[in-house]
Structure 1
Amino acid sequence: MTVHKAVILAAGHGTRFLPATKAVPKEMLPLVDKPVIQYVVEEAVAAGLHHVTIVTAGPKRSVEDHFDRNPELEQLLESTGKGPELREIRRVTDLAEIAFVRQKERRGIAHAVLVAHHVVGEEPFALFFPDDIIVSDLPAIRQLMDVHERHGGSVIAVQRLPRQETVHYGVITPEPLEDRVYRVRGIVEKPSLEEAPSDLATVGRYVLAADIWPLLERTPPGANGEMQLTDTLAMLLEAGHPLFACEFEGERFDTGRPLGLLEASVALALRR
């Protein structure tokens, strides 16, 4: 089934960037000359996804404002002859059809996805974590969509990482299927070095089939009281639904860390 819609999660606190994120959402931190979340929306659009739902929580009105019209600013730019700047902010406004939904309680990633259910409906959708910025010739999410169109089911993005880093990620038990594509036989969240089943770690791009919705509703809270998507995916496997992994081609930056944001800024600036 073809994927038409995208969900972007922008509901986190951004505590790693305090005090900068006390009043500014981490998704709005600048990456060269654009906020982080704009790169993710542009990836979705480049992959053909023009219906985007952004899940927010807390004081994140500036995320909505960024993708909305600002007539006063547009008039100022027009009257002062700043044509390129005017065209750019209008381009951002017209990128996609964007809806915003609120996660009223921060109850974990699986819950944040679930609150978008009424907007997405009963169809497959692409899921983005904006902390992960992926630079690639073919959009990373498009690579996952291609796997979904060939094999059906749900698809998660994975990346090979040094073993000592896998303790910070979800890690899959892979069964090779084709070049850079695996059938997932198991998944564990933040395993110890001894328990990690492979060096293939999950990163923030997913294509999720509609059969994920009832499982999201039944996902139990974890040790920290939050509903984790990794637990939902494990339930998906237990229920016999197909789950695949795509080892995407591209360079990934974790902008959820201060060093990762700096590395991404330097790399993207050098590409200009």
Structure 2
Amino acid sequence: MIKKAVILAAGRGTRFYPVSKHTSKEVVLLDTKPMIAYLLEEVATAGVSEVCLVTSLRKADLNWAFEFHAKNLGLSSFTLYQEKPLGTAGALWLVKEWIGEEAFFLYYADDLWLPDLKANPRLPSTRAEQLLAAYIRFNSPILSLMEVSLFEVSRFGVISWDCADDTGKIFAIRSIREKPKPEEAPSNLALVSGMILTPGVFEAIGGILHDRNLSAKEVFLTAALDFLAKRQPVYGCFLSGEWVDVGTLEDYPRAFVRMVRYRHEVARASRG
């Protein structure tokens, strides 16, 4: 069982401006709860007991909401602060000592994943549960995947792959291209938030940082995952369910309405 989860939320929220000038986007309500609450509920359901938030000192509202909702769910929580904008790999590097030799869940804090109610209306599998099932099987890093159109690939990290099983749901990742042009994309399978990583990711980050001036340039996690995939088995899990993007202010109204609708769908499914 995986006991630790990390949530990265140190970004400035520039794509959520002007709301993010006064309120962290991770605490803006989606239906009845802030985004951070949905993420914490997901990891708690998967058996996680300890959660670390990597954020910035200017996000006092997020820090409070994180501690409040984690406590309500019985999770042990603490916060680390990223003082400089060093990218997602730089943010993850901060938790290296806390993680130790354990596998862990990792999330970005600006998207959610809705379980597929049609597959199992009364007990649908969350993103974390699907990732955990794949990790138990392969005992290697597992990344969340979804299919996108070629017109959308420039928004995502996109994988090149080999089939890992006969279900069509698990892929052995050969490499990852960050935001490729449509004509240069190796596939239309894109990375989304939610993954299980092992301590080897810190060796990958360290290898990249060794070749770069960390103070001069942000280092993103996609580069570290690509580095890792070229040196050890890394798998992608094609998730069952629905992605809800809350990355920009334009995405927010759609996400809010979708979460309201989903709450009613869950209520109808529970009534049978």
**Shorter chain as normaliser: what TM range?**
0.7 to 0.9
Aligned counterpart, 2:109:
130
Matching of residues 26-37 of structure 1 within 5 Å: 26-37=25-36
The 8 Å contact of residues 6 and 125 in structure 1, kept in 2 or not, is answered as: yes
Matches of 1:30 and 1:103, distance apart in 2: 24
Matches of 1:54 and 1:11, distance apart in 2: 9
Matches of 1:19 and 1:32, distance apart in 2: 20
**One-letter code aligned to 2:15:** R
Aligned counterpart, 1:261:
252
Aligned counterpart, 1:115:
94
**One-letter code aligned to 2:223:** D
**One-letter code aligned to 1:153:** S
Query: Per the alignment, do residues 67 and 204 of structure 1 end up closer, same or farther by CA in structure 2, a change over 3 Å counting?
Result: closer
* CA apart distance, 1:92: 5.5
The 8 Å contact of residues 67 and 77 in structure 2, kept in 1 or not, is answered as: no
Aligned counterpart, 1:8:
7
Partner-residue secondary structure (3-state), 2:184: coil
Aligned counterpart, 1:54:
53
TM-score (norm 1): 0.86
* CA apart distance, 1:141: 1.8
Q: Deviations over 1:7-34 (max 9, x none)?
A: 0011111112212111211111111121
The 8 Å contact of residues 67 and 93 in structure 1, kept in 2 or not, is answered as: no
Query: Per the alignment, do residues 222 and 39 of structure 1 end up closer, same or farther by CA in structure 2, a change over 3 Å counting?
Result: farther
Partner-residue secondary structure (3-state), 1:258: coil
The 8 Å contact of residues 17 and 249 in structure 2, kept in 1 or not, is answered as: no
Matching of residues 60-75 of structure 1 within 5 Å: 60-68=59-67
Query: Per the alignment, do residues 144 and 68 of structure 1 end up closer, same or farther by CA in structure 2, a change over 3 Å counting?
Result: closer
Aligned counterpart, 1:231:
223
Q: Deviations over 1:130-149 (max 9, x none)?
A: 21111102110221111111
Matches of 1:187 and 1:222, distance apart in 2: 22
Aligned counterpart, 2:121:
none
Matches of 2:110 and 2:156, distance apart in 1: 13
Aligned counterpart, 1:85:
none
Matches of 1:115 and 1:67, distance apart in 2: 18
Matching of residues 118-197 of structure 1 within 5 Å: 118-136=97-115, 137-178=124-165, 179=167, 180-197=169-186
Q: Structure 1: which 5+ runs fail to align?
A: 70-88
Relative to structure 2, which stretch is displaced further, 229-238 or 192-201? 229-238
Matches of 1:57 and 1:190, distance apart in 2: 26
Relative to structure 2, which stretch is displaced further, 247-256 or 229-238? 229-238
* CA apart distance, 1:95: 3.8
Higher Rg: 1
